[in-house]
Amino acid sequence: MPVTPPASAASLTPAQPRRRRKDARPAELLAAALEVFSVHGYAAARMEDIARGAGVSKGTVFLYYESKEALFRAVIEAAVLPHLDAGEALLRDDAPADRLMRELFEGTQRVLLDPLLSAIPRLVDAEAGNFPEVAAYYHEHVTRRVHALFGAVYARGLREGCFRAADVGVLCQLALAPLLYAGNWRRLPGVWEEACFDPETYCRTHVDMFMRGLSCAPEKQG
Amino acid sequence: MPVTPPASAASLTPAQPRRRRKDARPAELLAAALEVFSVHGYAAARMEDIARGAGVSKGTVFLYYESKEALFRAVIEAAVLPHLDAGEALLRDDAPADRLMRELFEGTQRVLLDPLLSAIPRLVDAEAGNFPEVAAYYHEHVTRRVHALFGAVYARGLREGCFRAADVGVLCQLALAPLLYAGNWRRLPGVWEEACFDPETYCRTHVDMFMRGLSCAPEKQG
DNA sequence: TCAGAAAATGACCAACGGGTCATTATTGGC
DNA sequence: GCCAATAATGACCCGTTGGTCATTTTCTGA
């Protein structure tokens, strides 16, 4: 594999003397790990680089996470679960369903256009063959929750009579796929720039087309 | 990484005596490599497994491809380019644009729902951080061609007055993303089955919604 | 101030896997 | 049949890297 310079530390003033910071380490390690994993993938990520990124030595990483795989799992959980909680909070809002759906899109897009966070599904997917249990966990605790969230909003729209009937699973995938993919393209140097459309236009077009396809009301466009 | 049994050979009758088959080797190696790469990703794929999958010893692989990276590139080219040729042949058909667009979808879907072929974009993407030149090549020779193909059909539809105006790059991505993602989900055991919708419904729904969103004509649904 | 607890280090180990090459097996021409 | 020519082998080499642990440094509180 081509040599790549080690991941530049997130918050590393050089020659920092060693410090005991038991509480701060886990979060710093998770952040550094996500950065390295997102660039190199799981297998090609070096624990040495992750450690350097967090400003510690390699040995220290293993004081907090018992193995590379354990670190990988922890990264996924820490990066994803808070956003799911935030998403589910939306359901307590009793706005009309189409408005709720657009808010759901907006939140999802905020998460998935982040180049670090968008790496998570890509990583899980890429390693599904090597870590079937991680993929199963992800499906169980993330995908399922996302679908439930989307499904709840969709069901509300059906009751209100503003959405047309369709397979909710299919719709959910169709809603998410373009956002998941956008995250990937953004990080490729040259690709996104050449296509030269901004994320805003892309997401807005997607949401508009999707909502138009979903809607029962006769269309009125501007 | 968890131990996984070696890739079962595609066409390996056991204890096959060694044979000199200079012409057949490359294709067999490419097929075996794609299979192993698609399951394990690039970094975790072992040349030993690829060799076994093709019914040869590890050393033989290096007689045909000078390195793992060269094999990786060859796999990508061999898997993708023929389908691009086929796609571009569509343009010689002078059917109306919306019909052409649906044919384009159909061809794309045939390719991307294949669990092996759908691995290609995922692999390129996952390794973009480690092999920027491969990613650049892919973008240059694959993505660009796909966009040109889609763009040609779309432009025809604009001229015929049956498509509404929008950013062609955005539209192309939106058209492809759900198909690219479908390929990923299919290979995850349990995930696809639980969602229990078949690829047909998924793709048909996507195409219908997309075409409805793209169309200028007043909608008529059944 | 100092002693003991515990956080951090980095030299070290062992396994793994990409890549090599001297050797062996196969084949086609004569 | 026999003999180059060459396809194929697999034991071997060695750089890389996940993971360990004896040692060093930092911190706390008495």
Considering the domain architecture, whether residues B69 and B87 belong to the same structural domain is answered as no
Nearest to A201 among B43, B122, B167 (CB): B167
Residue B222 lies in a domain: no
CA of A47, C1' of D20: distance in angstroms: 14
Beta-bridge mates of residue A163: A215
pLDDT one-digit tens code per residue, B26-36: 999 999 999 99
DSSP letter at A66 equals S
- Among B56, B77, B98, the domain-final residue is B77
Which of the two residues, B80 and A3, has the higher pLDDT score? B80
CA nearest to nucleotide C21 C1': residue: B59
- Same structural domain for residues A104 and A189? yes
pLDDT band at A13 (very low <50, low <70, confident <90, very high): very low
Of B52, B77, B102, the domain-final residue: B77
Report for A27-31, A138-142, A164-168, B208-212: range of highest mean pLDDT: A27-31
Option in A177, A185, A202 nearest B178 (CB): A177
Q: Tell me the CA end-to-end span of chain A in Å, nearest whole number.
A: 51
Q: Give the span between the Cα atoms of A125 and A92, in whole angstroms.
A: 31
Whether the per-residue pLDDT at B63 is higher than 80: the answer is: yes
**Do residues B88 and B197 both lie within one domain?**
yes
Contact (CB, 8 A) for B74 and B81: no
pLDDT band per the 50, 70, 90 thresholds, residue B17 = confident
**Whether A222 contacts chain B with CB within 8 A:** no
In a domain, A4, yes or no: no
B168-187 and B199-214 are packed helices; what angle lies between their axes, rounded to 10 degrees?
A: 170
Question: Does residue B2 sit within a domain?
Answer: no
Residue A59 Cβ < 7 Å to strand C: yes
Residue of B nearest to A213 (CA): B209
Q: What pLDDT does B7 receive?
A: 39
A219 falls within a domain:
no
A141 falls within a domain: yes
B127/B186 same-domain check: yes
Average of per-residue pLDDT values in chain B:
88
| Residue B216 pLDDT | 81
CA distance readout (Å), A163 to A82, A155, A218, B120: 29, 9, 11, 36
pLDDT at A8 over 50: no
In terms of DSSP H, where are the helices of chain B?
24-44, 47-54, 58-64, 68-89, 97-112, 119-126, 132-138, 144-160, 168-187, 191-195, 199-214
One domain for residues B57 and B115:
no
Given pLDDT bands bounded at 50, 70 and 90, which one contains residue B49? very high
Q: Tell me which of B52 and A10 has the higher pLDDT.
A: B52
Tell me if A117 is assigned to some domain.
yes
How much is the average pLDDT of A90-119?
95
Residue B219, pLDDT score: 45
Using the predicted structure, report yes or no on whether residue B14 has a pLDDT greater than 70.
Answer: no
Spatial distance between the Cα atoms of B73 and B134, rounded to a whole number of angstroms: 7
Q: Do B205 and A129 touch (CB under 8 A)?
A: no
* B121 and B157, same domain (yes or no): yes
The CATH number for A68's domain is: 1.10.10.60
Q: Report pTM.
A: 0.90
A43 touches strand C (CB under 7 A): no
Greatest alpha-carbon span in chain B = 67
Q: Could you tell me the residue range of the domain that residue B200 belongs to?
A: 81-214
Query: What's the pLDDT at A10?
Result: 39
Q: Out of A37-46, B134-143, B193-202, give the one with best mean pLDDT.
A: A37-46
Q: Label residues A104-142 b or e (16+ Cβ within 10 Å = b).
A: bbebbbebbbeeebbbbbbbbbbbbbbbeebbeebbeeb
CB < 7 A to strand C: residues 8-27, chain A: 18-22, 25
Task: Say if residue B60's pLDDT is above 70.
Answer: yes
Flag whether B219 is in a domain. no
Distance CA B34, CA B40 (A): 10
The pLDDT of residue B6 is 42
CA B13 to C1' D10, in angstroms, rounded, equals 20
A22 CA – D30 C1', rounded, Å? 23
pLDDT at B184: 77
CA distance A159 to A155: 6
Instruction: Say how far A17 CA is from D21 C1', in Å.
Output: 22
- CB–CB of A44 and B182 under 8 A? no
Contact criterion met (CB < 8 Å) for B178 and A174: yes
- Residue A150 and residue A61 share a domain: no
Q: Which residue has the higher pLDDT, B107 or A181?
A: B107
Q: Per the domain annotation, does B28 fall within a domain?
A: yes
A108, A27: one domain: no
Of residues B130, B167, B213, nearest to A2 (C-beta):
B130
- Nucleotide in closest CA–C1' contact with B57: D9
Instruction: Examine the domain organization and report whether A33 and A124 are in the same domain.
Output: no
Interface check B173 vs A, CB under 8 A: yes
Nucleotide C13 C1' to residue A40 CA (A)? 26
Write the residue in B133, B205, B213 that is nearest to A166 by C-beta. Answer: B205
Supply the pLDDT for residue A178: 96
Looking at the fold, whether B62 and B157 belong to one and the same domain comes out as: no
Q: Is B188 on the interface with A (CB under 8 A)?
A: yes
- Rounded average pLDDT over A11-16: 48
**Residue B91 and residue B192 share a domain:** yes
Tally of domains in chain B? 2
B33, B50 contact by CB (below 8 A): yes
- Indicate the pLDDT class of residue A191, thresholds 50, 70 and 90: low
Distance from CA of A73 to the nearest CA of B (A): 13
Instruction: Give residue B144's pLDDT.
Output: 92
Looking at the fold, whether B97 and B69 belong to one and the same domain comes out as no
- The pLDDT tens digits for B140-153 are 999 999 999 999 99
Q: How far is CA B72 from the centre of its chain?
A: 14
Give nearest nucleotide to A19 (CA–C1').
Answer: D26
**Planar angle of CA A85, A90, A92, nearest 5 degrees:** 105
Q: Which of A77, A104, A126 is the last residue of a domain?
A: A77
Q: What's the gap in Å between the CA of A163 and the closest CA on chain B?
A: 13
Which site among A130, A134, A196 would you substitute to test the B interface, given the most B Cβ atoms closer than 10 Å to its Cβ?
A: A130
What is the CATH number for B165? 1.10.357.10
